[in-house]
Amino acid sequence: MSDAPFKPFPIAPPLEKAEFSAVAKQALMELDAAMFQWHRKLAKGELTGRLLAETDLDLEPALFQALMAVMRITHGVGRPAAQEPTVGLLAEELSIDPSRASRIASELITRGYIERAAAQDDGRKSVLLLTKKGRAAFETVRDLRWSHMVDMFSDWTESDIERFSDLFGRYVAGVLSDLQTEDEA
Protein backbone atom coordinates (compact mmCIF):
# COMPACT_ATOMS: atom_id res chain seq x y z
CA MET A 1 0.00 0.00 0.00
CA SER A 2 2.97 2.31 -0.50
CA ASP A 3 1.07 4.43 -3.04
CA ALA A 4 -1.36 5.64 -0.35
CA PRO A 5 -2.43 9.28 -0.84
CA PHE A 6 -2.29 10.02 2.89
CA LYS A 7 0.82 10.34 5.00
CA PRO A 8 0.38 8.37 8.22
CA PHE A 9 1.45 9.47 11.68
CA PRO A 10 4.52 7.77 13.20
CA ILE A 11 3.65 4.26 14.34
CA ALA A 12 2.00 4.04 17.76
CA PRO A 13 3.64 1.80 20.40
CA PRO A 14 0.64 -0.59 20.74
CA LEU A 15 0.71 -1.19 16.97
CA GLU A 16 4.50 -1.50 17.00
CA LYS A 17 4.21 -4.27 19.63
CA ALA A 18 1.32 -6.03 17.85
CA GLU A 19 1.90 -9.37 16.18
CA PHE A 20 1.19 -8.11 12.65
CA SER A 21 3.65 -8.18 9.78
CA ALA A 22 5.42 -4.94 8.84
CA VAL A 23 3.23 -4.76 5.72
CA ALA A 24 0.03 -5.13 7.78
CA LYS A 25 1.22 -2.48 10.27
CA GLN A 26 1.95 -0.09 7.42
CA ALA A 27 -1.46 -0.80 5.88
CA LEU A 28 -3.17 -0.09 9.23
CA MET A 29 -1.27 3.19 9.60
CA GLU A 30 -2.29 4.23 6.07
CA LEU A 31 -5.89 3.24 6.81
CA ASP A 32 -5.79 5.36 9.97
CA ALA A 33 -4.47 8.36 8.02
CA ALA A 34 -7.10 7.97 5.30
CA MET A 35 -9.88 7.63 7.85
CA PHE A 36 -8.62 10.74 9.66
CA GLN A 37 -8.87 12.73 6.41
CA TRP A 38 -12.34 11.37 5.69
CA HIS A 39 -13.57 11.99 9.24
CA ARG A 40 -12.12 15.50 9.28
CA LYS A 41 -13.94 16.43 6.06
CA LEU A 42 -17.14 14.92 7.42
CA ALA A 43 -16.88 16.48 10.88
CA LYS A 44 -16.12 19.93 9.47
CA GLY A 45 -19.16 19.66 7.20
CA GLU A 46 -17.10 19.93 4.01
CA LEU A 47 -18.64 16.88 2.34
CA THR A 48 -22.18 17.98 3.17
CA GLY A 49 -21.30 21.56 2.23
CA ARG A 50 -20.13 20.50 -1.22
CA LEU A 51 -23.33 18.57 -1.82
CA LEU A 52 -25.46 21.46 -0.60
CA ALA A 53 -23.53 23.85 -2.87
CA GLU A 54 -24.72 21.79 -5.84
CA THR A 55 -28.36 22.45 -4.89
CA ASP A 56 -30.53 25.51 -4.52
CA LEU A 57 -31.39 24.64 -0.91
CA ASP A 58 -31.11 27.41 1.68
CA LEU A 59 -29.37 25.14 4.19
CA GLU A 60 -25.96 25.24 5.79
CA PRO A 61 -24.30 21.92 6.74
CA ALA A 62 -25.26 22.23 10.44
CA LEU A 63 -28.93 22.75 9.57
CA PHE A 64 -28.89 19.88 7.09
CA GLN A 65 -27.29 17.61 9.71
CA ALA A 66 -30.13 18.51 12.07
CA LEU A 67 -32.67 17.74 9.35
CA MET A 68 -30.96 14.36 8.87
CA ALA A 69 -31.06 13.79 12.62
CA VAL A 70 -34.83 14.33 12.65
CA MET A 71 -35.07 11.82 9.79
CA ARG A 72 -32.89 9.25 11.62
CA ILE A 73 -34.87 9.58 14.86
CA THR A 74 -38.16 9.29 12.97
CA HIS A 75 -37.06 6.09 11.22
CA GLY A 76 -35.05 4.59 14.09
CA VAL A 77 -31.76 4.66 12.19
CA GLY A 78 -28.97 3.84 14.65
CA ARG A 79 -31.52 3.47 17.46
CA PRO A 80 -33.39 0.53 18.96
CA ALA A 81 -36.68 1.84 17.50
CA ALA A 82 -38.25 4.77 15.69
CA GLN A 83 -39.29 7.64 17.94
CA GLU A 84 -41.09 10.94 17.64
CA PRO A 85 -38.29 13.52 17.42
CA THR A 86 -38.16 16.12 20.18
CA VAL A 87 -35.66 18.91 20.77
CA GLY A 88 -34.13 16.72 23.50
CA LEU A 89 -33.67 13.77 21.14
CA LEU A 90 -32.29 16.14 18.49
CA ALA A 91 -29.73 17.42 21.01
CA GLU A 92 -28.81 13.85 21.93
CA GLU A 93 -28.50 12.77 18.29
CA LEU A 94 -26.27 15.72 17.39
CA SER A 95 -24.33 15.65 20.69
CA ILE A 96 -25.14 19.30 21.39
CA ASP A 97 -26.81 21.05 24.30
CA PRO A 98 -30.61 21.37 24.26
CA SER A 99 -30.56 25.16 23.92
CA ARG A 100 -28.50 24.91 20.70
CA ALA A 101 -30.79 22.15 19.42
CA SER A 102 -33.77 24.38 20.15
CA ARG A 103 -32.26 27.26 18.16
CA ILE A 104 -31.48 24.95 15.24
CA ALA A 105 -35.00 23.49 15.31
CA SER A 106 -36.45 27.01 15.36
CA GLU A 107 -34.38 27.96 12.33
CA LEU A 108 -35.51 24.84 10.44
CA ILE A 109 -39.12 25.68 11.35
CA THR A 110 -38.67 29.29 10.17
CA ARG A 111 -37.28 28.03 6.84
CA GLY A 112 -40.14 25.54 6.46
CA TYR A 113 -38.18 22.27 6.69
CA ILE A 114 -39.77 20.98 9.88
CA GLU A 115 -42.80 21.85 12.00
CA ARG A 116 -43.75 21.45 15.64
CA ALA A 117 -46.73 19.29 16.50
CA ALA A 118 -48.25 17.69 19.57
CA ALA A 119 -46.97 14.19 20.38
CA GLN A 120 -49.42 11.38 19.68
CA ASP A 121 -49.03 9.91 23.17
CA ASP A 122 -48.96 13.20 25.12
CA GLY A 123 -50.47 16.36 23.69
CA ARG A 124 -48.39 18.47 26.09
CA LYS A 125 -45.15 17.28 24.48
CA SER A 126 -43.90 18.97 21.30
CA VAL A 127 -42.42 16.87 18.50
CA LEU A 128 -40.58 17.82 15.32
CA LEU A 129 -41.95 16.64 11.99
CA LEU A 130 -40.48 16.93 8.52
CA THR A 131 -42.53 19.02 6.15
CA LYS A 132 -42.91 18.30 2.45
CA LYS A 133 -40.08 20.80 1.87
CA GLY A 134 -37.93 18.95 4.44
CA ARG A 135 -38.51 15.56 2.81
CA ALA A 136 -37.75 17.06 -0.62
CA ALA A 137 -34.47 18.54 0.70
CA PHE A 138 -33.49 15.17 2.16
CA GLU A 139 -34.29 13.39 -1.12
CA THR A 140 -32.39 15.99 -3.17
CA VAL A 141 -29.19 15.60 -1.15
CA ARG A 142 -29.61 11.81 -0.83
CA ASP A 143 -29.96 11.43 -4.59
CA LEU A 144 -27.01 13.74 -5.24
CA ARG A 145 -24.87 11.83 -2.73
CA TRP A 146 -25.78 8.54 -4.38
CA SER A 147 -24.98 9.97 -7.83
CA HIS A 148 -21.51 10.83 -6.55
CA MET A 149 -21.15 7.41 -4.90
CA VAL A 150 -22.16 5.60 -8.08
CA ASP A 151 -19.58 7.64 -10.03
CA MET A 152 -16.91 7.01 -7.39
CA PHE A 153 -17.44 3.24 -7.46
CA SER A 154 -17.99 3.00 -11.22
CA ASP A 155 -14.52 1.63 -11.89
CA TRP A 156 -14.61 -0.85 -9.00
CA THR A 157 -15.50 -4.46 -9.69
CA GLU A 158 -18.65 -5.79 -8.07
CA SER A 159 -16.53 -8.12 -5.95
CA ASP A 160 -14.40 -5.14 -4.78
CA ILE A 161 -17.57 -3.28 -3.78
CA GLU A 162 -18.92 -6.33 -1.93
CA ARG A 163 -15.59 -6.96 -0.20
CA PHE A 164 -15.20 -3.29 0.81
CA SER A 165 -18.75 -3.27 2.19
CA ASP A 166 -18.14 -6.48 4.15
CA LEU A 167 -14.78 -5.35 5.53
CA PHE A 168 -15.96 -1.85 6.41
CA GLY A 169 -19.09 -3.29 8.03
CA ARG A 170 -16.87 -5.60 10.09
CA TYR A 171 -14.69 -2.66 11.09
CA VAL A 172 -17.68 -0.54 12.17
CA ALA A 173 -19.18 -3.49 14.10
CA GLY A 174 -15.85 -3.89 15.91
CA VAL A 175 -15.69 -0.20 16.77
CA LEU A 176 -19.28 -0.22 18.02
CA SER A 177 -18.68 -3.38 20.05
CA ASP A 178 -15.56 -1.86 21.59
CA LEU A 179 -17.46 1.34 22.45
CA GLN A 180 -20.34 -0.66 23.94
CA THR A 181 -17.89 -2.63 26.08
CA GLU A 182 -16.36 0.65 27.34
CA ASP A 183 -19.82 2.08 28.10
CA GLU A 184 -20.72 -1.00 30.15
CA ALA A 185 -17.50 -0.83 32.21
In tens digits, the chain (185 residues) has pLDDT values of 456 666 667 888 999 999 999 999 988 998 888 888 888 888 888 889 999 999 999 999 999 999 999 999 999 998 899 999 999 999 999 999 999 999 999 999 999 999 999 988 888 889 999 999 999 999 999 999 999 999 999 999 999 999 999 999 999 899 888 887 766 65
At 41 the pLDDT is 85
Q: What's 115's DSSP letter?
A: E
pLDDT value for 156: 97
Buried b (16+ CB within 10 A) or exposed e, 115-154: eeeeeeeeeeeebbebeeebeebbebbeeeeeeeeeeeee
- The full set of domains in the chain, from first to last, is 1-44 (no CATH), 48-142 (1.10.10.10)
| pLDDT score recorded for residue 33 | 87
Using CA atoms, how far apart are residues 88 and 74, in angstroms rounded to an integer?
Answer: 14
**Cα angle: 69, vertex 109, 115; to 5 degrees:** 75
Q: Where are the beta strands (DSSP E) in the chain?
A: 114-118, 126-130
